[in-house]
C-alpha cells in the first residue's frame, strides 16, 4: 500500500511539469539531427583538407571518380539520417536496410562499369590501411556529435542506434575524405570505403551501449 | 483499444498545452495498466512481483522524460509500448543480476559454514532456563508446561488449578516479556 501511495505522489509531481517538456517534439529533433550532420560534415571536410590536402583528381579537374565517391557516401549518409531518426524516436517507423540500398546500388554499378583497370588494393601498398585509417579519423568528430544528438531522443535499442550513428558518421567522414583520396578504382571504393564505415559503426555500437542508455 | 488510443493521445496533446490535470489522469490510467502488465511479466520471468511498483515508477519517469519524442501525428500506443518494453528489459536485467548476487555462494562462505561451531543442544536448554528464570513464578510454570513440555492448555489449567483463560493470558504475557528481553539482548 505504501508504494502505491508513492506512485501517486510521483504521478502528482510529474503532472505538475506538464507543458514544460521540449516543445519542439520529433520535428525539432529531426531538424537538430540534420543540422548536426551538416555541421559535422563541414568540420570533417575542413579537417581532411587541413591534414591531407586536396587529392590529384580534384586538382586536375578530373571529377568523375570523385563525384561517384562523394555521391555514394552522401547517399549512404541520407539513408543513415533516416535510420538514425527512426532509431531515436520510438514508434516512428521500421529500421529497414532498404534505406541503404541506393548507395549500395551506386557503389556496385560503379564497380561493375569501371574500365580503368585500377587495382582493388589501390595505387600504393599502404593505400588500403591508409584510406581506412583516414576515414576513421575523419569520422571521429561526426560520431561524437551524432551520439550527442541521439541522446536527446529515446533510443530503445542503444547499441543498434549507436551502430546507425556510427554508420552515418563513417559515411560523412568517407564523403569528406574522398576529396583527398588518390584511389579511384571502382572495386577499391566499393570494398574499402564500406569496410571503414562498418568499423565506425562497430565503434558507435560499443560506445552507445552506455552513452545512449537512459 | 482504439478508444483508449484516442483518449490517451488526446491527453498527451493536452500535456503539451500545459494541462496538468489531464496529464495526471493519463499517468494514473497508464500506471494501472502497467501494474497489471509488469506484475504478470515479472512472475512469468521468475522475478519478484514485489518489485512491480518500482518498475512501474521507472517506466513512468522514463516516459515522462522522453515524452517529447512522441510524434503527435502518430499513434500513441506503439510509442508507449516501445518505451515500456525498453524499461522493462532494463529492470529485469537489473533484477536478475541482483538475484544472482543473492544466491551466489563463494568458497569462503562455504568454508565458514563448515567451520562454524555446531550448536550445543545443552547450551540451548540452559538458555531457556536462563530466560525463564526472569519470569514471575506463575508465568514460568505456564511457559514450561505449554512451551517446553508441550502440555495442552486444559491439562496445564488443571495442574495449576486455574482457568484455561488465565493460562492463555499468562502465556501471552510471558511470551511478550521473553520477546522483549531477547530483542534487548540481541540488539547491536
Mind listing the pLDDT tens digit for each residue in A6-35?
888 889 889 888 887 666 778 889 999 999
CB contacts of A28 in chain B (<8 Å) are 68
Whether residue A119 is predicted with pLDDT greater than 80 in this model: the reply is: no
Q: How many domains does chain B have?
A: 2
Give A-chain residues touching B66 at CB under 8 angstroms: 90, 153-154, 214
Q: Are residues B108 and B164 in the same domain?
A: no
CATH code of B14's domain: 1.10.1740
Among the listed ranges A37-41, A170-174, A206-210, B163-167, which one has the minimum average pLDDT value? B163-167
* CA angle (B74 as vertex; B68, B76 as ends), nearest 5: 70
Whether residue B7 is found in the same domain as residue B83: yes
User: pLDDT band at A48, cuts 50/70/90?
Assistant: very high
Residues 6+ apart with CB under 8 A from A89: A26, A29, A153, A154, B69, B71
Residues B104 and B47 in one domain: yes
Q: Give per-residue pLDDT as tens, A178-193.
A: 988 888 788 888 999 9
Q: Which domain holds residue B146?
A: 119-187
Residue with cell 571502382: A186
Per-residue pLDDT, B122 = 59
- pLDDT at residue A151 is higher than 80: yes
The answer, for A5 touching chain B at a CB cutoff of 8 Å, is no
Do residues B36 and B105 share a domain? yes
B144 and B103 housed in the same domain: no
- The reply to whether residue B68 touches residue A90, judged by beta carbons under 8 angstroms, is no
Of A18, A89, A92, the CB nearest to B18: A18
Q: How far apart are CA B171 and CA B147, in angstroms?
A: 9
Q: Specify whether B15 is located in the same domain as B96.
A: yes
> What is the 3-state composition of chain A as percent helix, strand, coil, each rounded to the nearest 5?
75, 0, 25
- Cα distance between the two ends of chain A: 28
Entry pTM: 0.74
pLDDT at site B98: 84
Looking at residue B120, what is its pLDDT?
62
Residues of chain B with pLDDT under 70: 1, 116-127, 187-188
Contact B58/A at CB under 8 A: no
- Say what the pLDDT of residue A152 is: 92
Whether residue A89 lies within 8 A of chain B, CB to CB, comes out as yes
pLDDT above 80 (res A59): no
Partner B, chain A 90-109, Cβ-Cβ below 8 Å: 90-92
What's the grid cell of residue A156? 530503445
* ipTM of the modeled complex: 0.81
Residue B83 burial (10 A CB sphere; 0-12, 13-18, 19+): buried
Surface of A (46-85) touching B: CB under 8 A: none
CB-CB under 8 Å, B90 with A14: no
Segments making up each domain of chain A, as ranges = 24-212
Question: What pLDDT does residue B9 have?
Answer: 92
Boundary of a domain, candidates B98, B116, B134: B116
Contact (Cβ atoms closer than 8 angstroms) between residue B133 and residue B164? no
pLDDT tens digit string along A136-147?
999 999 999 999
pLDDT(A1) > 50: no
Q: Does A125 touch chain B (CB under 8 A)?
A: no
Co-location of B130 and B178 in the same domain? yes
User: Do B89 and B182 fall within a single domain?
Assistant: no
Amino acid at each position: 500500500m505504501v508504494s502505491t501511495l508513492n506512485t501517486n505522489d510521483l504521478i502528482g509531481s510529474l503532472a505538475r511539469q506538464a507543458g514544460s517538456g521540449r516543445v519542439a517534439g520529433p520535428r525539432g529533433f529531426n531538424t537538430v539531427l540534420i543540422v548536426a550532420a551538416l555541421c559535422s560534415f563541414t568540420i570533417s571536410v575542413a579537417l581532411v583538407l587541413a591534414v591531407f590536402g586536396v587529392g590529384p583528381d580534384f586538382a586536375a579537374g578530373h571529377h568523375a571518380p570523385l563525384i561517384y565517391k562523394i555521391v555514394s557516401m552522401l547517399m549512404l549518409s541520407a539513408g543513415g539520417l533516416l535510420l538514425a531518426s527512426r532509431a531515436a524516436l520510438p514508434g516512428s517507423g521500421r529500421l529497414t536496410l532498404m534505406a541503404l540500398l541506393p548507395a549500395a546500388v551506386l557503389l556496385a554499378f560503379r564497380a561493375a562499369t569501371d574500365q580503368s583497370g585500377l587495382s582493388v588494393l589501390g595505387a600504393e601498398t599502404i593505400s588500403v590501411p591508409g584510406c581506412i585509417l583516414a576515414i576513421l579519423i575523419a569520422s571521429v568528430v561526426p560520431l561524437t556529435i551524432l551520439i550527442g544528438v541521439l541522446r536527446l531522443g529515446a533510443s530503445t535499442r542503444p547499441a543498434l542506434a549507436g551502430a546507425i550513428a556510427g554508420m552515418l558518421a563513417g559515411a560523412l567522414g568517407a564523403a569528406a575524405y574522398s576529396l583527398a583520396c588518390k584511389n579511384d578504382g571502382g572495386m577499391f571504393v566499393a570494398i574499402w570505403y564500406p569496410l571503414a564505415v562498418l568499423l565506425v559503426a562497430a565503434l558507435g555500437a560499443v560506445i552507445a551501449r552506455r552513452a545512449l542508455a537512459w | 483499444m482504439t478508444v483508449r488510443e484516442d483518449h490517451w493521445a488526446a491527453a498527451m496533446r493536452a500535456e503539451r498545452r500545459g494541462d496538468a490535470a489531464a496529464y495526471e489522469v493519463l499517468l494514473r490510467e497508464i500506471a494501472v495498466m502497467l501494474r497489471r502488465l509488469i506484475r504478470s511479466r515479472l512472475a512469468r520471468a521468475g522475478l519478484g512481483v514485489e518489485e512491480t511498483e518500482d518498475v512501474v515508477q521507472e517506466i513512468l519517469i522514463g516516459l515522462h522524460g522522453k515524452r517529447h519524442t512522441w510524434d503527435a501525428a502518430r499513434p500513441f500506443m506503439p510509442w508507449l509500448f516501445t518505451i515500456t518494453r525498453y524499461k522493462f528489459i532494463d529492470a529485469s536485467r537489473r533484477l536478475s543480476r541482483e538475484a544472482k548476487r543473492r544466491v551466489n555462494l563463494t568458497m569462503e562462505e562455504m568454508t565458514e559454514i563448515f567451520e562454524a561451531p555446531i550448536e550445543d543442544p545443552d547450551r540451548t536448554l540452559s538458555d531457556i532456563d536462563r530466560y525463564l528464570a526472569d519470569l514471575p513464578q506463575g508465568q514460568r510454570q505456564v511457559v514450561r508446561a505449554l512451551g517446553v513440555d508441550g502440555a495442552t492448555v486444559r491439562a496445564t489449567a488443571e495442574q495449576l488449578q486455574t482457568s484455561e483463560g488465565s493460562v492463555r493470558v499468562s502465556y501471552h504475557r510471558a511470551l511478550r516479556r521473553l520477546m522483549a528481553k531477547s530483542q534487548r539482548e540481541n540488539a547491536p
